[in-house]
A and B are shown apart, each in its own frame.
Chain A
């Protein structure tokens, strides 16, 4: 009984912190329509800033709190609103979510850059050592403060939204922003207030929970998952229910920690240690299953800024050809160590490709693609022993099945819940499943990650030997190129049209008889299968993999790169592969381990400006015209071929070769412009007969506008000509139309 009381109190305290976080999250979501994935990361930043002020620089507690909670946090919220979130008008839910994911990645990397995780740091309770006696147990002042703050926040937010002018304005904005503007409210103000308050609440929660966690950036950042589980119980809008949800999750987590221990369950103990950490995720899935069905919605905005390009077969075949040709050249010119490190890129590229049908075409979010890749890698390692390629088939089937199971509960609900459910699933894989020790089920011994590392052999593909790095690299490229053609085929066919239709208007899909749940499940399974195969290819490339290769934030990076480059382009997958799977960044910037993440994050933040990704915005318009210009294409190809010959005959070294190839590719748009200039020398457009200058310029900038001009114009637009006298008497020859009255 005594233990129960202790666990209950700590459960309520944990729940209180979740309530503060979830309250802030719900507040920004209901007011701005943006689900802030970076909420936990903001809390982490605040906690570390507090540590810096109080514990490192020795400022008094009150001053440190005042500076962090009263000044820095709200200011950061206002900054987020004006610099980033405000620009997301007219973008899809996917883009809005991904921008906050980008903020998460940037903040996480920034915190780890500023405060080196290798250095141990400590944050202690407020009033350390002080406690009171309650129901026979000692409760620390810190815990009491936490509970009190949670209550104050819950009541305060409720009063704010219900009874104050600002709160009513906040609720009005989310209902209909344009209407609120028409009624004279300034939507900037509620949005700004929501971000300031939300960020402050994240900071409060971060500082309160810091002493309870091992003080590090990642667990604080991932607190978001526990918090949104609570927010989901409140259906992302009800603050009282969010509070109740937070308490349930706090209690369940603490009871789990207290009761599911090795001493109580000696046999199951090792498998349970990660379970209590995953409790919020399990609660989330239960909550999602119990929530009432969302109504089918039409599209949110009448015209989105996001367009998806319909790929042509010519372009896609050229792309596939370039990928394979480029891989052949790279495989024969990269140094052995670089080549080995770079074979991974095709695994990442395939995982990136798996995002396209699901997120790019169907507009459904999955934050678990790398998690599925992890499952796929497990399948290939265990079921494709000795490099049996059937392992890939197993990976596809098992991942598709698990993908369907994960998506199933969220199907009845609106899109954001699918994103939340998949993120929670990925975190659960991370925290629990991938770390499970070996267990036996029936007669089979199952050891998912071999307690640390998975081993792979290169595939024993019938007829070809791909065991060398060089051969495997080319194999990966061919596999990727063919898969990209499959994706294009999907897009151009009936299934692709259905997916886009579902993204554009779920309501209209229903009224033409389309079962959108089945369509969603199909594409989700397909995309999970593709990710699983990607994981297998990655495993074959790397030889060994461990759970850290598939962690949640790495998965966010893959998705982020896809979004930055353009969710509907296979080229984006190639970009993600190169960025994550080659030693490019570590070679360029060996001293800045966090730089990759920061770069990804910063680019993601800029999505609001260009939500279609840079391939659609920059690369395609500049390079695509080349497809219709054989002269330019042939020139570039000839130059590249010459460089390749020079390289293989050892006339030039590696670096001049790379530079030359880059020039030959980057030079295409410039060559196009030159070709246009040569073919069509600039001439002034012909002046119509009888006019003294171009019609647009008549009478302007000192150009004369004569009676003869009027006559010529009349003739041009087939008006009956008027007597010369009338023309002369016309008061305003500038406006020929005025003469009709004369």
Chain B
């Protein structure tokens, strides 16, 4: 089970941002969503989380149609996300950012033993944020801000986790550690959907990939299949020269 998106179309005026797109993310797996800039990746995240109502199509969580639910209701069913343009609670400290989310979870799940303070401490430790726990979130550099957003979304104990370019702003070593972290999160039974431009991270972390281009899904499959897919190469490189494209994609791994 996990997340299923079926036949989603979004039109902004005359522009079709998403055209009949089907994607999915299974629990326990890291699923990649890639595509050139403007392909519609963030738009589909907004549709999935309910921030953008689609013109048509359906979003299902564990088989249940959530298309009509408000964003906060989807979140309560176990959907969490991070944002490409950071959406931190800037006037709160890093610790408080996580605590707000943990407290919200506990309000809805009265049986939770762990206090919000403990959840915050645990996640600060796990994501190596303890040193900056007292920093106001709007003072953080982008890379760290993304990790705080991840910590905040983990505090909601999601079943489905949508990550919008979580590694941009991080250096190579941080990115490697990050891939490992994503695998661990998925291993806990979370369906992770990852939008990312860093091909190293994507190819080394994802179990399955979906490729979007100009609002259409042009391919899906394992990393190997995608790497050799002619349509993907054309989309990424604007060329049909498969050999050259293959070379570039190979180099990135």
**Chain A interfacial positions (CB closer than 8 Å to B):** 295-296, 298-299, 302-304, 307-308, 494, 497-498, 500-501, 503-505, 507-516
B87 at the interface (CB under 8 A from A): yes
Contact A512 B91 (CB under 8 A): no
> A309: nearest residue on chain B (CB-CB)?
B91
Chain A residue, CB-CB nearest to B75: A513
B85 on the interface (CB 8 Å rule)? yes
Asked if B243 is at the interface (CB within 8 A of a chain A CB), the reply is no
Tell yes or no: B59 within 8 A of A by CB.
Answer: no
Q: Which of B51, B92, B138, B152 contacts A512 (CB 8 A)?
A: B152
Which residues on the A side are within 8 Å of B72 (C-beta)? 509-511, 513-516
Q: What's the count of A-B pairs with C-beta under 8 Å?
A: 97
A513 touches B90 (CB 8 A): no
Question: B55 interface residue, CB < 8 Å from A?
Answer: no
Within the complex, the shortest CB–CB distance from B100 to chain A, in Å, comes to 5
Kindly supply a per-residue 1/0 record for chain B positions 71-113, scoring 1 wherever the CB is within 8 Å of any chain A CB and 0 otherwise.
1100110011101011111111000110111011100100000
Q: What is the CA–CA distance of A505 and B85 in the complex, to the nearest angstrom?
A: 12
Query: Which of these, B83, B92, B101, contacts A298 with CB under 8 Å?
Result: B83
Docked CA distance A299–B138 (Å): 12
Asked whether, in the complex, the Cβ of B91 is within 8 Å of the Cβ of A308, the reply is: yes
B residues apposed to A, CB below 8 Å: 49-52, 70-72, 75-76, 79-81, 83, 85-92, 96-97, 99-101, 103-105, 108, 116, 136, 138, 149, 152-153, 155-156
Compute how far the CA of A514 lies from the CA of B103 in the bound complex, rounded to whole angstroms.
Answer: 10
* A515 CB, min distance to chain B CBs, angstroms: 5
Q: Are B85 and A510 neighbours in the complex by a CB distance under 8 Å?
A: no
Given contacts A303-B138, A500-B91, contact A513 B156 (CB under 8 A): yes
Contact B156–A302 (Cβ < 8 Å): no
Chain B nearest CB: distance from A346 CB in Å?
29
Q: Cβ of B89 and Cβ of A295 under 8 Å apart?
A: no
CB <8 Å contact, B104 and A511 = no
Inside 8 A of B90's CB, which chain A residues have their CB? Answer: 299, 303-304, 504-505
User: When the two chains form their complex, are residues A504 and B88 in contact, meaning their CB atoms are under 8 A apart?
Assistant: yes
Q: State whether A510 touches B87 (Cβ < 8 A).
A: no
Contacts A511-B75, A512-B80, A513-B156 hold; do A302 and B51 have CB atoms under 8 A apart? no
* Contact among B51, B80, B87, B101 with A295 in the assembled complex (CB-CB below 8 Å): B51
User: B152, A307: Cβ atoms under 8 Å?
Assistant: no
Contacts of B76 in A (CB 8 A): 513
Are A508 and B83 in contact (CB-based, < 8 A)? Answer: yes
A504, A511, A515: which contacts B91 (Cβ < 8 A)? A504
Contacts beyond the supplied A497-B92, A510-B70: 4 A-B pairs with Cβ under 8 Å? A497-B100, A501-B100, A507-B83, A512-B105
Is A500 touching B104 in the complex (CB atoms < 8 A)?
no
- B104 contact set on A, CB distance < 8 A: 498, 512-514
Task: State the Cβ distance, A270 to closest chain B Cβ, in Å.
Answer: 45
Given A303-B138, A507-B51, A513-B72: A298 in contact with B85 (beta carbons within 8 A): yes
28 interchain pairs, CB-CB under 8 A: A298-B85, A298-B87, A304-B90, A494-B99, A497-B103, A498-B103, A500-B91, A501-B97, A504-B88, A504-B89, A504-B91, A505-B89, A507-B71, A508-B87, A510-B49, A510-B51, A510-B70, A511-B80, A512-B80, A512-B100, A512-B105, A513-B72, A513-B105, A513-B156, A514-B75, A514-B100, A515-B72, A516-B72
Whole-angstrom distance between the alpha carbons of A507 and B91 in the complex? 15
B87 adjacent to A299 (CB under 8 Å): yes
Q: Which residues of A contact B136 (CB under 8 A)?
A: 307
Q: What is the distance, in angstroms, from A199's C-beta to the closest C-beta of chain B?
A: 32
User: Whole-angstrom distance between the alpha carbons of A227 and B62 in the complex?
Assistant: 50
CA distance A498 to B104 in the complex (A): 9
Nearest 6 interchain pairs by C-beta: A513-B75, A510-B71, A508-B87, A512-B101, A505-B87, A504-B89
A299 to chain B, nearest CB (A): 7
Given contacts A308-B91, A504-B90, A508-B89, contact A497 B70 (CB under 8 A): no
Q: Are A302 and B100 in contact (CB under 8 A)?
A: no
B89 is contacted by which of A304, A500, A516 (Cβ under 8 Å)? Answer: A500
Which residues of chain A are within 8 angstroms of B105 by Cβ–Cβ distance?
512-513
- Contact between chains at A296 and B91 (CB < 8 Å): no
Distance between Cα atoms of A511 and B86 in the complex (Å): 13
Q: Pick from A298, A307, A507, A512 the residue with the most CB of B within 10 Å.
A: A512
Chain A hits for B85, CB < 8 A:
298, 302
With the chains together, A418 CA to B25 CA distance in Å?
39
Give chain A residues whose Cβ lies under 8 Å from the Cβ of B88.
504-505, 508
